Structure 1
Amino acid sequence: MNKPTTTIPTQPSDTTAPGSAATARPTYRAKASLPGLVLGTAGLGGVWGAIDTPESIDTILYALENGVARLDTAPAYRDAESIVGQALKQWSGQPPFVSTKVGKLRADRADERTNNYDPKVMERSVKQSQDTLGVDRIDLLFLHEPDQVPTERVAEVIDFLVRVRQSGWAAAIGLGGNVPATFYPAIQQGHFDVVMSFNNLDACCLDGMQEAIPFFRKHSLTTYQGSALHMGLLGNRYEKYQQQAPEWISEADLRRARHAAALAQQLAMKLSTLAHRYLLSMEEVDYLVLGAKNQQQLTQTLSDCQAGKLDEAVFNELTNQIR
């Protein structure tokens, strides 16, 4: 790729950016169309435990057969990129939109720190992702965990990503994870196309509405929202986490999850169903990233999504409980 041609500031230039306004409510989705669905492949790749590779491939094919037109993967998701590549070779339908990531190398566990933001290392990583996925151009390349980028490297990392897009290695670039203020100027300048958030907008947490998500929307970023189940708190780990929660789950999250569970019971609905449908009901969500470790889990999740958005009264009641 060509050498950097621009200098990108690392400090916010807009003093009215995030943090200056009161927490906003998510907006009920008035339009009939729902957010698009994206199949996340972390679980299918093995970072959350042992997998059966043929079953993971079949799960991806099942998603494509059932209308999921986007896949999201990453080198850090253990074998996920390889599994996606194998699935794409077997798929004979319309090619899906595929996103992957750069800035974090292969990991065997979700909590393993393999972050590396050296431009030379990232360039090799992008090329390896293309080879593994079997594509000449990546549809969307996310910077993995931008909050882990050292402040002194932010400018060169942004410049690298811009050059990746300019060189045609990726059609679009995005930020995948919590976004620190050092990236706001680049967002304001229109350098990024997409942002993927997680654990900040769901049925037990609306922290993203305080500043980040309104800021992203203001600057016309397409929004991917991951972890509708708050890493299991609103799903199959609800009971476990209520008894003994990991450090990153707050008491407020646990309390609000209990409110959501009570509402789901009142509605004769599974907690996970309520959680998925809550995000499908938001104007702020352009694409919902679905997590699954196998086809059985994906089948249930797709069933949740097929039920569509919540009634507005239910949406408002849940929103009021969370706030």
Structure 2
Amino acid sequence: MNRLGRSGVEVSPLGFGAAGIGNLYTPMDDEQAYEAVRAAWERGIRYFDTAPHYGLGRSERRLGAALRAYGRAAYTLSTKVGRRLEPAADGTGDDLANGFAVPADRRRVWDFSADGIRRTLEASLDRLGLDRVDVVYLHDPDDHAEQAFREGYPALEKLRSEGVVGAIGAGMNQAEMLTRFVRDTDVDVVLCAGRYTLLDQSAAAELLPEAASRGVSVVIGGAFNSGLLADPNPESTYNYTHAPQELLDRALRLKAVAARHGITLRTAALAFCAAHPAVASVLAGARSAAEVHDCAEQFAIPVPPAFWQELRDTGLLPSEEPS
């Protein structure tokens, strides 16, 4: 287990990202979701991450129900604030425009106010069926920076000082604003999705060095860049949209190098994310028990140093990566 910053919260090196069990892209039933969580537990995963955004609360409800089989002190749970869920005026249709195959019976309301933070967290606890979470992230404050820094962050800091949560931070799909959180606030952890992978090392320029120097932990999400690095093919997605041909070609080259060294591209993708000293955990998003078992198996396989060297020599990775 790895500690998050200066907090007392610990996370397993491999974590379970629960967007998938919120019906990301396609539906699944409750039992399939519960089996995925149980498989994670069997493989020693003790860090679970969710958010109200994931399936309009469905991910939180399913994750909370599945985790009730285990002692609360035995695992670490994070959720996110910044999007409040309210009943939809219409309540018809689906949420596929936001990526989730669930009825659009609620709507998301951006709210990084102090009151909104508390209300959102209270609603999350109700859906989870828990009296506390361990980590709370400000979720995607890209277009709400002023309110997030002026009101949202201080609200989280107060919750931490009151002992309501153990660690606080921000989770985003970019590195620049996360670097600002590391420099200008007292966060324990930042969750960086998709910006430190075999295809995108933008977090390596400032975010990861700053976090390491200031004792802030980093959790990496999106190790497979939403699918391309898991199984590169013409139908693969990259950052939740159709993968451009240039990136598909690059992923196929990475896969071929991995095969020459006796490993899978999935093993290499997970190992790359975990290699940086600032990284405390890598979140693997999985929709089934089989996917969880595969991620755990791939994560445990050592990567030959010669693999990294070939990537550097061929220009597939910068010369200094992985750190």
Q: TM-score scaled by structure 2? A: 0.79
Which structure has greater strand proportion?
2
In angstroms, what is the RMSD of aligned CA positions? Answer: 2.9
Q: Superposition pairs for residues 133-152 of structure 1, below 5 Å?
A: 133-151=128-146
C-alpha distance after superposition, 1:93-123 (max 9, x if no partner):
8621111111124594555893332332221
Give the aligned partner of residue 166 of structure 2: 171
Number of equivalent positions? 288
Q: Do structure 1's residue 131 and structure 2's residue 126 form an aligned pair?
A: yes
Moved more, 176-185 or 142-151: 176-185
User: Against the structure 1 CA distance between its residues 269 and 185, is the aligned structure 2 distance closer, same or farther, given a 3 Å change threshold?
Assistant: closer
Give the Cα–Cα distance (whole angstroms) in 2 for the partners of residues 211 and 291 of structure 1: 26
CA distance in 1 between partners of 2:63 and 2:166 (Å): 19
User: How far apart, in 2, do the equivalents of 1:312 and 1:289 lie?
Assistant: 23
Partner of 1:318: 311
| Structure 2: tracts of 5 or more residues without a match | 1-10, 86-93, 101-106, 319-323
1:271 CA displacement: 2.2
Give 1:149 deviation, angstroms.
1.7
Aligned equivalents of 1:313 and 1:156: distance in 2?
48
Residue 163 of structure 1: how far off its partner (Å): 1.5
Equivalent positions of 1:181-196 (< 5 A) are 187-188=182-183, 190-196=185-191
User: Is the Cα–Cα contact under 8 Å of residues 280 and 305 in structure 1 kept in the other structure?
Assistant: no
Counterpart residue number, 1:28 = none
The aligned amino acid for 1:192 is V
Q: How does 1:64-213 map to 2 (within 5 A)?
A: 64-78=41-55, 79-91=58-70, 95-106=74-85, 108-109=95-96, 110-111=98-99, 114=108, 115-151=110-146, 153-178=148-173, 187-188=182-183, 190-213=185-208
Say whether the 8 Å CA contact 2:226–2:240 is kept in structure 1: no
SS in 2 for 1:278: helix
Do residues 38 (structure 1) and 8 (structure 2) align?
no
SS across alignment from 2:79 = strand
Instruction: Tell me if structure 2 keeps the 8 A contact 1:40–1:290.
Output: yes
C-alpha spacing 1:180/1:257, structure 2 compared with 1 (3 Å) = closer
Quickly say closer, same or farther: Cα 1:238–1:205, change in 2 above 3 A.
Answer: farther
Distance 1:245 1:231, change over 3 A: closer
Instruction: Note closer, same or farther for the CA distance 1:73–1:268 as it changes in structure 2 (3 Å cut).
Output: same
Q: Report the alpha carbon displacement of residue 304 of structure 1 after superposing the two structures with TM.
A: 0.4
Are residues 1:298 and 2:271 paired? no
1: CA distance, partners of 2:310 / 2:43: 31
1:226-237 correspondence to structure 2 within 5 Å: 226-236=221-231
CA-to-aligned-CA distance 1:59-98 (integer Å, 9 cap, x gap) = 1122112200111111111111101110122225862111
Comparing 66-75 and 203-212, the one that deviates more: 203-212
Instruction: Check 1:63–1:103 CA distance in 2 against 1; reply closer, same or farther (3 A cut).
Output: same
- Shift in CA distance, 249/127, structure 1 to aligned 2, threshold 3 Å: same
| Secondary structure of 1:231's aligned partner | helix
Partner SS, residue 119 of structure 2: helix
Distance 1:125 1:94, change over 3 A: closer
Deviation at 1:47?
Answer: 2.5
Residues 193-232 of structure 1: CA distance to partner in whole angstroms, max 9, x if unpaired?
0011111111122111122222222221111011111111
